[in-house]
Amino acid sequence: MTLTDSESGKDYTHLTDGFGDFWFEGLKEGRFSLKIEASGFKAKTFKSLNTKKDINLGDIVLTK
């Protein structure tokens, strides 16, 4: 996964755990976009995520 700060353009990358869960901790308050990619699947992007409070994206299904 790549999380991009919409203001600065800074990227944060992270891998999921064995269950597919992930966390980006300690982020400043602001707007971000998240791109999720896995080999053999179509990427999924979430735009304008606001870190003013914790975000739960729920189950994310990637398609082939």
pLDDT tens-digit series, residues 5-63: 999 999 999 999 989 899 999 899 999 999 999 999 999 999 999 999 999 999 999 99
pTM of the full structure: 0.87
The predicted structure's pLDDT at residue 50: 95
Residue written as tokens 């901790």?
25
Q: Say what the pLDDT of residue 61 is.
A: 92
What per-residue confidence (pLDDT) applies to 41? 95
Residue of 46, 28, 26, 49 whose CA lies nearest to 37? 46
Domain ranges (residues) in the chain? 2-50
Rounded Cα distance between 64 and 57, Å, is 20
What is the distance, to the nearest Å, from the Cα of residue 46 to the centroid of all Cα atoms in its chain?
A: 7
